[in-house]
Structure 1
Amino acid sequence: MSHPTASARHAAGTSTSDQPPTWAPAAPAIALLTALGVLMVGQTYTVLALLHPMSTALGTTPGQAIWTATAFGFAYAAGFLVAGPLSDRYGSRAVITAGLVAATAVTLAVSAAPNLPTAVALRSLQGLTAATFAPSALSYVVRHIAPQRRGTALTCITSGMLAAAVIMQIGAQAVAAGLGWRAVFSLSAALMALSLIPVGRVLRPTLRHDTGGGLVQAFAAMPQLVRRPRLAALYLSTVALMSSFVAVYTAVAIAGPPSVAGNSSAILALRAGALPALVAVPLLAPAFQRLVSPLRAVLAFALAALAVATGSFVGGHTVPLAIALLLFVAAVAAAAPAVVETINATAPHAGGAAVALYGCSMFIGASLGPQLTGALIGLGFGGILRVVAAALALGVLLTLPALRHRHIA
């Protein structure tokens, strides 16, 4: 065990007056937080692959069972707002650990839900507990990972969270086919419990600083952050990004060309086809770091808009559509960490609260995506994608103010 004074200095990731900062080892933290990102954020998407068996077992319909996803989503967004200030106050590792313990218990309870109302209530609690992870993980990177590795870490973690939409649905579908839908939640709970071991060994505790205002001050920082024009614009750009991400894949499923729409195998193939982008973008992160984060955000939004616009015209052909979606997902995977970095640089003294608002914005956007597609269904697949491309172009405009203040990144 290291000396207490040294441990505290390491935990803080900051320097004393006469010593340089000592950062936590990046590789094991990145690997652990990325894997946990897939598991925890993936709880959002597991039920999408389980609606039919769940509805049968709970004595309801798939349309009613979707409330297990909606309830999780609303609670998840609210949980972000709580987890960020808690992370600022008590440290990322402490919040991640407490969240994992709570999420393990609630996720196991979901596996035993006897009816739909109980399942909806438990999924709400699961959303609240799972939400403790993402803002705490991103805050850990900002506080403990060296600046030259920070961009790679944020890219890997956010890519894992995006990949969860595909990986966890595929995993849930496979487990449910062999063991039943309840086993999906039981297995998830077991993995959460086991992850407590590496969390305790890999992640460093954060040195707490009493600033006088305590937890109340941490929560009070949120409305102040939203009132800052550049930050508000970045949060709105995040809503545009994630609503576009979900809207595109919802459109593929319910309004796509005949070769894809209604064909579960084709839809799954298109989703899985985006996974190479989610692997490539983290590998290319060191090269991306040569550009300041606001510029990366602007370029990524522009690429996403161009890819979706192209997809709106080639949607009748599966292979060109798959390529367009691959570029689109790559752009989203590049934009998300760039926005996080820019937000943290803009509000360096309110990291947890700032990241919590970012996460809340992400999930608000993800929740709006299906509604956007549903509202535009009359325009057809191409029309929906052209509106989404316009929303992403708006994202370019929203990130431009940060580019004009490059010194913050």
Structure 2
Amino acid sequence: MPTAETVIAARVLQGCAAATFAPTAIGYLTRTIPAHRRAHAFTALTSAFLASAVVAQVAAQFIADRWGWSAAFLASAVVTAGVAVLARVVLVPDRRDGATPLAEAYRGLLRAALLPRLLPFFLIALTLLFGFVGVYAAVRPTNPLGVAGDAGALLTLRATGLPAILLAPLAMPLLARLAPLHRLVVSTAAAALFIGAAAASVPAVGSVGLFTLLLAGFVFASAVALPAAMQATTAAAGAEHLAGANAMYGFWLYIGSSAAAPAVAGAVGLGFTGLGAVFAAVLLAGSAAALGAALLARRAG
């Protein structure tokens, strides 16, 4: 792109295209995966969400250090195009149930957006990726324990999140014994506690090993919380509001993700400890919203 303005315009278009993925993927899994396997499917999907953030950072650092930042962009474009072709070949074709009038589709979206029982889940969606993306976005500008100044240490810190993400689907048979809302309350609170502990450990302990271990715990808790949030949202929506709820859930999920980096840039003076406290507070708000939704569901039941 020849100017910054065209770069921004292209980024807006890319963001609009990317934002359609989450609701589409949730809707696809809901329609094609049997209910008794849906928790595992959602876990695989959200683990891939989180793993992409880790893998992309590791791959981008590796490629950019050798061939420049533009090579990382080009590699991402090639991989994305390849996945698009693969999706067309592998995924089950849509069942055509008849066209929904555009006005009715927007009315359904508005109804889902304002449905009281769904509002807590949209707040939860806002907090989850805000915390996850924000934590990783904060590492480089705040440089906790000097890890951002050491390319090898930074690469290790980023890469150690991947085993924690891969562990979440393996733990799903055990975790599935908890109802999705209960699983969401516990895992979101655990994510807040882990990131709070990691932030506090920087000035209190000063151990890179402990810091990395606590971040891995935060990543695992996030990997458990995301599919629980998806499962609980679709259950609360019901068949009537499912499409609108999926769209709004994906919207708030990406709003949280997109807001994380500007929030870090604006509050970088707090350091990693201060930003970690902010992320912990936001995640605790998400856990409180999940608890409120669980109490409302119990009363309604």
Q: Tell me which interval the TM-score lies in, with the shorter structure as reference length.
A: 0.7 to 0.9
> 1:135 corresponds to which residue?
23
Q: What is the Cα deviation at residue 341 of structure 1?
A: 0.8
> 1:226 corresponds to which residue?
113
Aligned in 2, Cα 1:378/1:122: closer, same or farther, shift over 3 Å?
closer
Q: Is the 8 A contact 2:58 2:158 kept in 1?
A: no
> 1:171 corresponds to which residue?
59
Aligned in 2, Cα 1:310/1:218: closer, same or farther, shift over 3 Å?
same
The structure carrying a bigger helix percent of its residues is 2
Q: What is the Cα deviation at residue 364 of structure 1?
A: 1.2
Matched length = 296
> 2:210 corresponds to which residue?
320
Aligned pairs for 1:41-190 within 5 A:
113-190=1-78
- Tell me the distance in 2 between the aligned counterparts of 1:171 and 1:274: 14
- Tell me the distance in 2 between the aligned counterparts of 1:229 and 1:407: 14
Q: What is the Cα deviation at residue 192 of structure 1?
A: 3.7
- Tell me the distance in 1 between the aligned counterparts of 2:27 and 2:156: 34
Residue 217 of structure 1 is aligned with which of 104, 108, 121? 104
> 1:203 corresponds to which residue?
91
Aligned residue for 1:301, secondary structure, equals helix
Residue 403 of structure 1 is aligned with which of 286, 294, 297? 294
- Tell me the distance in 2 between the aligned counterparts of 1:311 and 1:180: 32
- Tell me the distance in 2 between the aligned counterparts of 1:381 and 1:195: 35
- Tell me the distance in 2 between the aligned counterparts of 1:180 and 1:348: 48
Q: Is the 8 A contact 1:246 1:366 kept in 2?
A: yes
Aligned in 2, Cα 1:394/1:129: closer, same or farther, shift over 3 Å?
closer
Q: What is the Cα deviation at residue 256 of structure 1?
A: 4.0
Q: Is the 8 A contact 1:342 1:408 kept in 2?
A: no
Higher mean alpha-carbon deviation, 200-209 vs 274-283, is at 200-209
Letter in 1 for 2:4: L
- Tell me the distance in 2 between the aligned counterparts of 1:287 and 1:347: 25
Letter in 2 for 1:221: G
Q: What is the Cα deviation at residue 356 of structure 1?
A: 1.8
- Tell me the distance in 2 between the aligned counterparts of 1:246 and 1:181: 20
Residue 311 of structure 1 is aligned with which of 194, 198, 223? 198
Q: What is the Cα deviation at residue 183 of structure 1?
A: 4.0
Q: What is the Cα deviation at residue 258 of structure 1?
A: 3.7
TM-score, normalization: structure 1? 0.66
Aligned in 2, Cα 1:200/1:373: closer, same or farther, shift over 3 Å?
closer
Aligned in 2, Cα 1:388/1:169: closer, same or farther, shift over 3 Å?
closer
Aligned pairs for 1:351-370 within 5 A:
351-370=242-261
Letter in 1 for 2:255: I
Q: What is the Cα deviation at residue 180 of structure 1?
A: 4.7
Aligned residue for 1:204, secondary structure, equals coil
Residue 348 of structure 1 is aligned with which of 232, 238, 245? 238
Q: Computing the radius of gyration over CA atoms, which structure comes out larger, 1 or 2? A: 1
Q: Is the 8 A contact 1:312 1:386 kept in 2?
A: yes
Higher mean alpha-carbon deviation, 395-404 vs 215-224, is at 215-224
- Tell me the distance in 1 between the aligned counterparts of 2:66 and 2:200: 40
- Tell me the distance in 1 between the aligned counterparts of 2:75 and 2:270: 41
Cα deviations by residue, 1:319-343 (Å, 9 ceiling, x for unpaired): 1111110010111111111111111
Give the unaligned 5+ runs of structure 2.
none
1:373 maps onto 2:264 in alignment: yes
Cα deviations by residue, 1:214-256 (Å, 9 ceiling, x for unpaired): 2322222222222222311111122122222222223322224
Give the unaligned 5+ runs of structure 1.
1-112
1:296 maps onto 2:186 in alignment: no
1:383 maps onto 2:274 in alignment: yes
Q: What is the Cα deviation at residue 154 of structure 1?
A: 0.8
